[in-house]
Structure 1
Amino acid sequence: MTVPPKSLPLILSELRIATTQQHQLLEKRIPFFTADQELYTRLIEAYFGFYRPLENLLCQTAMTISGLDWLIRSKTPSLEADLYALGLDADEIARIPQCAFSLEINCAADVLGVLYVLEGATLGGQSLRNGLYSRLGIDEHRGGRFFAVYGTSTLVMWRGFLACLYEVRDPAERAQSVVAAEATFKAFEHWLERRRVLQ
């Protein structure tokens, strides 16, 4: 049994322990190092088809979480902007398949568990951005806005998310957050497999 590091808040330790293996395995399968514009476009389409319905599912409860600033955390507008920049039109974007979620979002702990995955992906995307840009000839105005969604405020936004996450102290609520995070990783992997973009 892995013992959570004492230096971290319990909720963050529990989330890391529960999801690190899932995260590492999935990250190796996502074609972040592609120089293939068509594959990259399909990847952004798959992300859009995942994020849009998931963010719609989160929205009502997320709006009630003090300090979360939900309205500036949504990634769907950036993904949509990237799709336009990559050459899709409104009809093509409207036809992109959407993931059907079985997640139940009943409280802030559920939302924060899901956002641990989504906000973590945003933070991690910073280390991938420059390589993606140079390989594909894109930038935040030409198909790569999703990977620069918070710009220079990325760390500030991550810390703001952590401040909300650290309010989840009750053991039962912490367990809900962990279940939500694990389910999000699992759903994302299954979705990307269905969209045939994983390596």
Structure 2
Amino acid sequence: MDVARLREATAADHEAVEGAVPLMDAGLDRARYVAVLQRMHGVVKVWEEFALRAAPPSLLPMVVERQRLGLLEGDLLGLGADVPSGDGPVLPGWGSPGELLGAMYVMEGSRLGGQMIARHVEGLLGFSSGEGGAYFRGFGDRTGVMWKELVRVLDGVPPPQDEVVIRAAREMFAVFGGWMRGV
């Protein structure tokens, strides 16, 4: 899989999701930030549960290592907010490793932007480093290394599967953006 092709094929989808998540808004306040985190909880919970069930043995260690729901819940609790107990969005009926990797591309890509979001939120809302932003800080200096690991796995996907990966990534962007527009 040519990751540059995947990025290009999903650029508009990525941009649409960024527009649905108001975390970089200059007018973001604490209440709105908490509402966004609570809404994100539904997507992250559903995704992580699915990924654990769907990952083939060869990808399971990578999926397990990337679980971040606990970080998100810790942020909410640390901000004095409730952790949602409701459901999240319904994911497509993905069943192949290519589909899992397409969706994973979206969720892991959000981790890269999370570093910038964490700095913005900390400065705007006056949080100390890491306060309320553990989810976005994710794995700190390991974030780039973990992204490169996923890119290597994607690079190993045979070209006949490219369209499967792209379709699943576009579907995951649509699920994520659609769910987040409910904030």
Larger Rg: 1
Contact kept? 2:92, 2:171, Cα under 8 Å: yes
Query: 1: distance between equivalents of 2:173 and 2:94?
Result: 15
Q: Which residue of 1 aligns with 2:137?
A: 148
Is 1:28 the equivalent of 2:19?
yes
Size of the aligned set, in residue pairs, is 181
Aligned to 2:50: 57
Aligned to 2:74: 81
The 8 Å contact of residues 76 and 132 in structure 2, kept in 1 or not, is answered as yes
In 1, the alpha carbon distance for the partners of 2:20 and 2:76 equals: 22
Q: Is the 8 A contact 1:140 1:146 kept in 2?
A: no
Larger CA deviation: 122-131 vs 62-71: 62-71
In 2, Cα distance between equivalents of 1:165 and 1:154: 17
CA distance in 2, matches of 1:123, 1:64: 25
- Identical-pair percentage: 26
Flag the 1:82–1:41 CA change in 2: closer, same or farther, 3 A: same
> Please, which of 12, 26, 34 is the counterpart of residue 41 of structure 1?
34
Q: Is the 8 A contact 2:103 2:172 kept in 1?
A: yes
Q: Who is 1:134 aligned against?
A: 123
Gaps of 5+ in 1: 1-9
Question: In the alignment, residue 52 of structure 1 is paired with which amino acid?
Answer: K
TM-score by length of 2: 0.89
Distance 1:191 1:174 in 2: 26
Structure 1 runs, 4 residues or longer, greater than 4 Å off: none
Taking the aligned partners of 2:89 and 2:15, their CA distance within structure 1 comes to: 24
TM-score (norm 1): 0.82
Task: Give the Å deviation of 1:140.
Answer: 5.6
Cα pair distance change 1:109/1:54, threshold 3 Å: same
2:179 aligned residue (175, 185, 191): 191
State the secondary structure of the residue aligned to 1:93: coil
